[in-house]
Amino acid sequence: MTIAAEARPTTQPTQSWLVRLFDYKPFLVFICLLPAIGLLLVFLSYPLGLGVWLAFTDTRIGRSGIFIGFENFESLWHDPVFITSVWNTLLYTSVATVGKFGLGLWLALLLNNNLPFKSLLRALILVPWIVPTVLSAIAFWWIYDPQFSIISYVLVDVLGWRDTYIDFLGSPWPARWSLIAANVWRGIPFVAISLLAGLQTISPALYEAAMLDGANAWQRFRHVTLPMLMPILAIVLTFSVLFTFTDFQLVYAITRGGPINSTHLMATLAFQRGIPGGQLGEGAAIAVAMIPFLVMATLFSYFALARRKWQQGEDND
C-alpha cells in the first residue's frame, strides 16, 4: 500500500508538458478551431478587409494607391451611372424576388400534390438551377438577340403576329425586364424545391383538422400552410435576396451593362470600373457600397419574417 502511495507522485512529473497542454481544455478548443479560423481569416476576412481598404484609396491596376478618405464615394455620389446602377440593383432584386417567390411557391404547391412521375418532375425542375449560370446566360443572350431570337422568329416568321423582330436589349426598359425575366427563370427552382421541403414537413393532421372545421382551400392555405411555411420562407428569402442582389454573370454575359450603361448592377459596375477600367479603388468602393444594402436586406427578411406575430396571427405575440 505504501509503495503504491509513494509511486503515484513519482509518475506525475514524468507526464510531459505537451500532454498536460493538450489536456487543458481551452487550449484544445483553440487548436481545434484553428484550421477553420485560419481559413476564414485568410480567404474571407482578409479579402473583405482589403476590399474595404481599397475603397478608401486611389489604387489602380499597376499602381498602388494612397489613402484618399471618402473621395471615391463622393465622386460616385455625383456619378449618374452609379446612381442608375443602385436603382437597377434595387429594382432587379425586388421585382425578381417577388417573381421568384410567387412562381416558386405556386410550383411548390403543385409539386406537393400527388402527380404522376413526381420524382422525375421534381428532378427536372432543378435543371435551370443546376446549369452553370454562364451557360444559361448565353442561352438567354441568344433568345434576346436582335437578329436570331427564337421568340422573334416564332412571332414574326412562324405566327406572323409581328412585322419586326423584337429589340429586347436595345433600349433601357426592355433590356431591364429581359434580364429580370432571365433571373426569375433561373431562381425559381431554388425557391420551389426549398419550399417544397417545407411543405412536406407540415403534418396532414393539421389539414384534416382544418377541413373538419369547414375551412376552404384558400383558408387552409392562408391559416395552415403559410404560417407553417414562414420560418423556411424567411431563410429562403434571405438567401434569394442575397443571390439576386449580388448577381453578376447574367448581366455581364447578356448586356455588359449596356445599352449605354442602363442595365449595370452594382456588381457589374464594380467589376467594370475595377478590372477592365483599371480603377481598383473605385471598383472596391462600389462593392463596399453594396454592404449596407445587403445587411439591411438580410436583417429585414430574417427578423421581420421570423416574428411570431407574422407566423401565428395578429393576436399572438
Partner 1 sequence: MSISRRDVLIGGAGLAAGASLPVPSIAQTANIEKGATLRVLRPTKFVDPDQTIFNENTEAFTKATGVQVRVDYASWEDLRPQTAVTANTGAGPDVVVGWADDPHIFADKLIDLTAVAEDLGKKYGGWYPVAEKYGKKDKTNTWISIPMGGSGGPAVYRESWVKEAGFDKFPTDHAGFLDLCRKLKAKGHPAGFALGNAVGDGNSFCNWLVWSHGGYMVDENNKVAINSKETIEALKYAKALYETFIPGTLSWLDISNNKALTAGEIGLTQNGVSLYFSIKNSKDEKTAEIGKDLNHAPMPIGAGVGRPTETALVINAMVFKHTKFPNAAKEYLRFMMEKEQYDKWLTGCFGYWTQPLKGYAQSKVWESDPKILVYRDTWERALWSGYKGAITEAAGTVNAEYVMVQMVASVCAGQATPEQAAAEAERRAKRYYRT
Q: By CB under 8 A, is residue 169 in contact with partner 1?
A: yes
- What part of residues 270-289 is at the interface with partner 1 (CB under 8 A)? 272-273, 275-279
HSE toward the beta carbon, residue 152, CA cutoff 13 A: 15
Give me the least distance between CB of 302 and partner 1, in Å please.
36
Q: Of all helices (H) and strands (E), which one includes residue 34?
A: helix 25-40
CA distances from 191 to 48, 188, 199, 248 (A): 28, 5, 12, 19
111: cell is: 409539386
Q: By CB under 8 A, is residue 170 in contact with partner 1?
A: yes
Of 227 and 283, which CB lies nearer to partner 1 in the complex structure? 283
Q: Which listed residue (65, 68, 94, 167) binds partner 1 by CB under 8 A?
A: 167
> Residue 252's closest CA among 185, 188, 183, 189?
183
Per-residue contact flags (x/-) with partner 1 for residues 52 to 91, judged by CB under 8 A: --------xxxxx----------x----------------
Q: Which listed residue (260, 295, 296, 299) binds partner 1 by CB under 8 A?
A: 260
Q: By CB under 8 A, is residue 259 in contact with partner 1?
A: yes
- Give the integer Cα–Cα distance in Å for 210 and 248: 45
Q: By CB under 8 A, is residue 165 in contact with partner 1?
A: yes
∠ CA 97-103-106, nearest 5°, is 135
Total number of residues binding partner 1 (CB under 8 A)? Answer: 33
Q: By CB under 8 A, is residue 238 in contact with partner 1?
A: no
Of 125 and 251, which CB lies nearer to partner 1 in the complex structure? 251
Give me the least distance between CB of 64 and partner 1, in Å please.
7
Contacts of 304 (CB under 8 A, 6+ apart): 310
Q: By CB under 8 A, is residue 50 in contact with partner 1?
A: no
157: cell is: 416568321
Looking up cell 407574422 gives 310
Name the packing angle between helices 280-299 and 226-245 (round to 10°): 170
Rounded to a whole number of angstroms, the CA Rg of the chain reads: 28
Give me the least distance between CB of 283 and partner 1, in Å please.
12
For partner 1, the binding residues (CB under 8 A) are 60-64, 75, 144-148, 164-165, 167-171, 175, 255-261, 272-273, 275-279
